Amino acid sequence: MAAAGAAATHLEVARGKRAALFFAAVAIVLGLPLWWKTTETYRASLPYSQISGLNALQLRLMVPVTVVFTRESVPLDDQEKLPFTVVHEREIPLKYKMKIKCRFQKAYRRALDHEEEALSSGSVQEAEAMLDEPQEQAEGSLTVYVISEHSSLLPQDMMSYIGPKRTAVVRGIMHREAFNIIGRRIVQVAQAMSLTEDVLAAALADHLPEDKWSAEKRRPLKSSLDSLLCNVGGESPL
């Protein structure tokens, strides 16, 4: 009798072990693939190398500027040097190692006959109307006209004028450093006509947290930079 009870108990234990093994096998065969499928989102590959590169990101913005010199806007010796190109670059530091490099590429040339005629008119509005002709220009480019220091096109107390169609008028100067002086004025005008350095720095700085940021925290910044580059160009014009 006792032997029969012990045999029954042993049989129940064996059945329990087999049942446990069966359920474990089912869990592995069915559960593991199901778990793997439902957690794919959390295993998405991320461009960690690109994200880590944001630590030393350098954003380049280029502004092509055409500078047109009328007669008597600069000394005759300087007029004889035209045409030529001048490049002005400036770096804007941000948080961490990030920075923006603004590149102003200024193409200097003499005014054409119809431009001379337009800029000799009585008012800047009249000159704009005469200069308002379709021209092939690079996207985001600016045109700056340099007039005589004593021209009546602008009021005598006005050194520059910014028009509504990415054009501007700047007074020239009869000085041995005329190109350098006018060049600085042109950069100031170009910055006012495009995205200013403060605006660019503030737009990116808003996405940089004050604390030490990880790769996960840099992901929104990468998206923001991609959007900004689509709007103004990574190495694109402003």
> What pLDDT does 116 receive?
92
pTM for the whole structure: 0.60
pLDDT tens-digit map of 30-61 = 877 887 777 776 667 777 777 666 666 667 77
Sheet harboring 99-110: ordered strands across? 84-93, 99-110, 58-69, 142-147, 167-171, 160-162
Identify the H or E element spanning 67: strand 58-69
What is the rounded average pLDDT for all residues in the chain? 76
Flag the least confident range among 52-66, 116-130, 138-152, 175-189: 52-66
Q: Report the share of the chain in percent with pLDDT over 70.
A: 68
Q: Is 230 left (phi over 0), alpha (psi -120 to 50) or beta?
A: alpha
Nearest to 94 by CA among 210, 188, 191, 214: 210
pLDDT tens-digit map of 176-214 = 899 999 988 988 888 788 766 666 666 665 555 544 444
